[in-house]
């Protein structure tokens, strides 16, 4: 749904639910990771960008301590909870837990909140590995920051979103998704150091499009396999006597290979080499060096396939097909946690139509599954979209 339509839609749903216009509108985007996969929870580097698919909340503060939420995309399901009582998981509605979890973790950090009427909607594809959950967590943090004038940094909103997902929802993700949803910038990729949370904005070359292809392979094993990979990485760091896999170079890893069982070595090899590739890719992006980006993205995909073993055949097919077509003019790899989800490709605008046609004419015939294609633009991170100015009876855009 285009931004304007999404905005009008959430306002009309708010008026329907609460009988008045919302006073504020907040948004937080999904993300696509250009390179740096499974490096975030190893204290390493990632290079994602925020995308122009967002979760949006229309909000008005209440005079009591009740939070009322309507999920416009789930047949207007409702949730109500009190800020004065211990916040528990919702017995039936998973979407509610992202909101309850962020509110609970804001309170746990000592932030004083007030009640609110909220309506939530979003167009980040769900279950595709484009961080619809992180965008929901971050927009909830941003909403309470705005409504209650909280003194809270973007990094803290990201950390609280991750805590809510780890401890309240129960999914053991790293910090990448929330950080880029909070800190992204239009036309820039974000080089994030997941240990210090320092970010460096890298301009995206004007001549490249960001194309995302959802394989629509159901990501069945994703939670258990994700946790297994995390444990294997922790085990590797322990056996190597380091705090995290961030703390060893590829050369040193080769020297100390004997310390690791075969499979553990392969997992470590992916993470350590991926960190080096991510830093090199940030440099190549800065220079607009497409052939280097193309090589690094190809190596990243091969490493996810052969060392980390998180790709699936239909995804390998899309990557091989596009890589053949793009040659050194663009890059392509699987993006996200793995076992399905999306591939990301960077390519000259003039090659986009041909790439789409190629996948449309081969992928379904090969795999029996129809893909979905999104052409994206690197976008701004979370923020307030507007607040309603009573005195002038007009909506003020917040830049």
Q: Which residues are catalytically annotated?
A: 177
Q: Which of 112, 189, 119, 192 is nearest to 152 (CA)?
A: 112
**Which residues, 196 to 225, sit near ligand GLA by CB under 6 A?**
none
What does the alpha-carbon distance between residue 174 and residue 166 come to, in Å, rounded to a whole number?
9
H/E run at residue 200? strand 199-203
Residue 161 is a binding residue for ligand GLA (CB under 6 A) = no
Stretch that binds ligand GLA, among 32-40, 344-352, 353-361, 390-398 (CB under 6 A): 32-40
Nearer of residues 37 and 43 to ligand GLA, judged by Cβ: 37
Binding-site member from 58, 139, 176, 260 for ligand GLA (CB under 6 A): 176
Residue 336 is a binding residue for ligand GLA (CB under 6 A) = yes
How many residues in the shown chain lie near ligand GLA by CB under 6 A?
A: 10
Residue 277 is a binding residue for ligand GLA (CB under 6 A) = no
Nearer of residues 157 and 176 to ligand GLA, judged by Cβ: 176
194, two tokens:
């997941």
What does the alpha-carbon distance between residue 387 and residue 391 come to, in Å, rounded to a whole number?
12
Strand partners, 200: 191
Answer whether 339's CB lies under 8 Å from 309's CB: no
Least Cβ distance, residue 167 to ligand GLA (angstroms): 15
Q: Which of 310, 336, 315, 323 is nearest to 216 (CA)?
A: 315
Outline where 154-242 has alpha helix (H): 154-163, 176-183, 222-240
Nearer of residues 173 and 253 to ligand GLA, judged by Cβ: 173
What does the alpha-carbon distance between residue 337 and residue 398 come to, in Å, rounded to a whole number?
34
Least Cβ distance, residue 40 to ligand GLA (angstroms): 5
Least Cβ distance, residue 382 to ligand GLA (angstroms): 17
Binding-site member from 51, 173, 213, 304 for ligand GLA (CB under 6 A): 173
What does the alpha-carbon distance between residue 239 and residue 105 come to, in Å, rounded to a whole number?
34
Least Cβ distance, residue 174 to ligand GLA (angstroms): 3
H/E run at residue 386? strand 383-389
Residue 37 is a binding residue for ligand GLA (CB under 6 A) = yes
Residue 41 is a binding residue for ligand GLA (CB under 6 A) = yes
DSSP assignment string, 9-54: HHHHHHHHHHSS--SEEEEEEEEEEEE--S-GGGT-EEEEEEEEEE
Nearer of residues 181 and 216 to ligand GLA, judged by Cβ: 181
Least Cβ distance, residue 125 to ligand GLA (angstroms): 13
Nearer of residues 314 and 337 to ligand GLA, judged by Cβ: 337
What does the alpha-carbon distance between residue 166 and residue 144 come to, in Å, rounded to a whole number?
20
Nearer of residues 48 and 314 to ligand GLA, judged by Cβ: 48
Least Cβ distance, residue 388 to ligand GLA (angstroms): 34
Q: Which of 163, 146, 129 is nearest to 56 (CA)?
A: 146
Residue 40 is a binding residue for ligand GLA (CB under 6 A) = yes
Stretch that binds ligand GLA, among 171-179, 205-213, 319-327, 391-399 (CB under 6 A): 171-179
What does the alpha-carbon distance between residue 152 and residue 80 come to, in Å, rounded to a whole number?
25
Least Cβ distance, residue 176 to ligand GLA (angstroms): 5
DSSP assignment string, 267-285: HHHHHHHHHHHHHHHHHHH
CA gyration radius, the chain: 21
Stretch that binds ligand GLA, among 70-78, 108-116, 170-178, 384-392 (CB under 6 A): 170-178
Nearer of residues 59 and 176 to ligand GLA, judged by Cβ: 176
Residue 146 is a binding residue for ligand GLA (CB under 6 A) = no
* Interface with ligand GLA (CB under 6 A): 37-38, 40-41, 173-174, 176-177, 336-337
């Amino acid at each position: 749904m285009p931004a304007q339509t999404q905005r009008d839609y959430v306002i009309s749903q708010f008026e329907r639910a609460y009988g008045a216009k919302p006073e504020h509108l907040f948004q937080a985007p999904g993300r696509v990771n250009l390179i740096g996969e499974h490096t975030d929870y190893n204290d390493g580097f990632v290079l994602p960008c925020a995308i122009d698919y967002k979760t949006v909340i229309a909000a008005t503060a209440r005079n009591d301590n009740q939070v009322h939420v309507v999920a416009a995309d789930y047949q207007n399901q409702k949730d109500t909870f009190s800020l004065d009582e211990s916040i528990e998981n919702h017995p039936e509605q998973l979407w509610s837990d992202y909101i309850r979890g962020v509110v609970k973790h804001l309170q746990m950090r000592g932030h004083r909140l007030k009640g609110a009427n909220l309506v939530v909607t979003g167009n980040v594809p769900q279950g595709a590995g484009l961080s619809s959950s992180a965008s929901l967590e971050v927009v909830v943090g941003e909403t309470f920051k705005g409504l209650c004038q909280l003194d809270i940094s973007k990094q803290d909103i990201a950390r609280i979103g991750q805590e809510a997902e780890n401890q309240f929802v129960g999914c053991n993700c790293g910090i990448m998704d929330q950080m880029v949803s909070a800190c992204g910038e239009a036309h820039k990729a974000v080089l994030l150091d997941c240990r210090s949370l320092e970010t460096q904005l890298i301009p995206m070359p004007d001549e490249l499009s960001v194309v995302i292809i959802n394989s629509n392979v159901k990501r069945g094993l994703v939670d258990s396999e994700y946790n297994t990979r995390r444990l294997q990485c922790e085990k590797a760091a322990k056996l190597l006597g380091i705090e995290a896999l961030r703390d060893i170079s590829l050369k040193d890893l080769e020297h100390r290979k004997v310390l690791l069982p075969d499979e553990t070595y392969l997992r470590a090899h992916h993470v350590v080499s991926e960190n080096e590739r991510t830093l090199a890719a940030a440099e190549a992006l800065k220079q607009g060096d497409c052939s280097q980006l193309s090589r690094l993205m190809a190596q990243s995909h091969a490493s996810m396939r052969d060392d980390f073993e998180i790709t699936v055949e239909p995804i390998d097919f899309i990557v091989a097909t596009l890589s053949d077509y793009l040659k050194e003019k663009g890059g392509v790899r699987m993006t996200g946690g793995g076992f399905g989800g999306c591939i990301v490709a960077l390519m000259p605008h003039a090659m986009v139509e041909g790439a789409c046609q190629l996948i449309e004419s081969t992928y379904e015939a090969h795999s029996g599954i129809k893909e979905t294609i999104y052409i994206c633009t690197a976008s701004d991170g979370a923020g307030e979209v507007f607040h309603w100015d009573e005195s002038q009876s007009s909506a003020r855009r917040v830049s």
